[in-house]
Structure 1
Amino acid sequence: MAGQEPGTSIRIKSYKHNGQLHRIWDDTTILKATSTMVIGANDKTIVTESDGRSWTTREPAVCFFYTKHWFNIIGMLRQDGIHYYCNISSPFVFEEQAVKYIDYDLDIKVFPDMTYTLLDEDEYALHKEQMRYPEVLDRILHNNVDYLQYWIRQRKGPFSHEAIDQWYERFLTYRS
C-alpha cells in the first residue's frame, strides 16, 4: 500500500453501519501492506470506546485486514496458545493514517484447539433492524461467516499458528 512501509505506526478505527465511531486502537505497527491487505501487530495498546472509556490490551496481537473479504482477524498470543477474534466487518479502507472498517457485530471466537463459537447474533439482529441493513448486505455478511468458518477449519492464512508466530517475530524486530 503506497506510503505505508513496514514499521510504520497506524491507528485502527471501527465504525457502526450508521457512521458512528465504535472503537479506536491507538498504536499498531504495520508488518505488511499491499493494495488488498494490511497485516499489523500491537501489544499493550490503548483502546478507546465510543463513550470515551479506554483500556489497554493485555497481550500481543497480530491483525489481518482485507479489501476483498468482509471480515478481519486478530490473533492474540496468550500463555495457553493463540486465540483468534474475528470480526464480521466491511472491507477496510486506509485514510488519515488509519485502517477503517464498519463492524457488523457478528464475531467468531477461535480457541487454541481451533474450536470456535459464533458470537453476538442477538446484537446483530437488533442492529440489522435498527439500522435497516439491506437484504443484500445481510446475505454478504452471512456468506462471509461461512467463508471464515471454512478458513478456520482448513487452518488457512492467519489460522496457521506458525504464521502468527512468524508475524509476531517480525513485529519484535520493530520494537527493539
Structure 2
Amino acid sequence: MSTRTDFSTTSSKKSTHKTWRRVRMKQVWMQSYKHDGREHRKWVKLYEVPGEKGIYWIDPDTPVVEADGSEWSSPFPVIYWLHPEKWYNVAILCKETGTGYYCNIASPVEYDDEHHLYRFIDYDVDLIVNEDGVYEVVDEEELTEHAHAMKYPQEILHKIAEATAELVALFEAQEGPFDPEARARWTEAWLEATS
C-alpha cells in the first residue's frame, strides 16, 4: 500500500493533501555536540521553508532528544534560522502570545547532504528573548567551566564573545532573524507551501 493511500484511509481529502505535500518537502535533522565531541542534543525533524534559504520549520510537539535520551518538545511551532558562516543559530518561538527567541552560541553549521543532517558545536552561552522583548545572556558560568575543562582555544573564546555581542546588537536593531516581519513572512511561506 502506498504512503499516500495510507494517509487517505485515516484523513480527510484536504488534510491528506497537506500531509502528502509535506512528505515531499525537504526534511532534515540536526545534531549538536560539545567541544569534546560528545553528543549534546538532537532535533529529529525540520522542514525547509520553500524559497527561504536557511529557514526551517519545526511542527509543534516534534521531539527534541537530549544526550541522556530524555525528550521534550514545544507546544508551538518553531522557525529555525541557520547560517553557514555565523557562530550562532536562532530558534524563533512562534507562541500565540508573541514571539520569543532562543539563540545558541555555536560553531557555524555544517551540512551532511548524504544524511540530510546539520551539525554544530554548542558553546554553552545562549541569548534568550521573551515575548515582551526582554533579553538575557545565560549560561556564562557553564562557559567558564567548560572552557577550563575542555581547554577551549583563545580563538574560540574570542568567537563566542563576538557572536554574543553580534546577536545582542542584531536584536536591539531588530534585524536579521529578529526582524519583526520575519516571523510573519516565513510563516506565510510555510503555510502557502503546505496548503
Using the size of structure 2 for normalisation, the TM-score is: 0.81
Residues paired across the two proteins, number: 169
Which of 124, 135, 138 in structure 2 is aligned with 1:105? 124
Cα separation, 2, equivalents of 1:98 and 1:19? 16
Retained in 1: the 8 A contact 2:50–2:190? no
Q: Which residue of 1 aligns with 2:149?
A: 130
The Cα RMSD (Å) is 1.8
SS in 1 for 2:157: helix
1:71 aligns with one of 85, 88, 92: 88
Q: Does 1:146 align with 2:165?
A: yes
More displaced stretch, 24-33 vs 86-95? 24-33
Report Cα offsets for 1:22-73 as digits up to 9, x if no partner: 1111110011588xx6210111211111111112222101111111110001
Give the 3-state SS of the residue equivalent to 1:103 in structure 2.
strand
Q: Tell me if the contact between 1:11 and 1:26 (Cα under 8 Å) persists in the aligned partners.
A: yes
CA displacement, residues 54-110 of structure 1 (integer Å, 9 cap, x when unaligned):
122221011111111100011101121000000000000001201111110100001
2: CA distance between counterparts of 1:88 and 1:76? 17
Tell me, what secondary structure is at the counterpart of 1:58?
coil
Q: Which residue of 1 aligns with 2:12?
A: none
Secondary structure, aligned partner of 1:19: coil
In the TM superposition, residue 138 of structure 1 has moved relative to its aligned partner by 0.3
Tell me the secondary structure at the aligned position of residue 86 of structure 2.
coil
Q: Which of residues 27, 33, 46 in structure 1 aligns to 2:63?
A: 46
What does residue 31 of structure 1 align with? 49
Runs (5+) with no aligned partner, structure 2: 1-23
Of the structure 1 ranges 113-122 and 84-93, higher mean CA displacement relative to structure 2 is found in: 113-122
Match of 1:56 in 2: 73
Structure 2 letter corresponding to 1:61: V
Partner secondary structure for residue 164 of structure 2: helix
Aligned counterparts of 1:67 and 1:142: Cα–Cα separation in 2: 18
**Kept after mapping to 2: 8 A contact 1:7/1:174:** no
Q: How far apart in 1 are the matches of 2:172 and 2:150?
A: 32
Shift of the alpha carbon at 1:112?
2.6
TM-score, normalisation: structure 1 = 0.89
Of 181, 189, 195, which aligns to 1:162? 181
Q: Is the 8 A contact 1:46 1:55 kept in 2?
A: yes
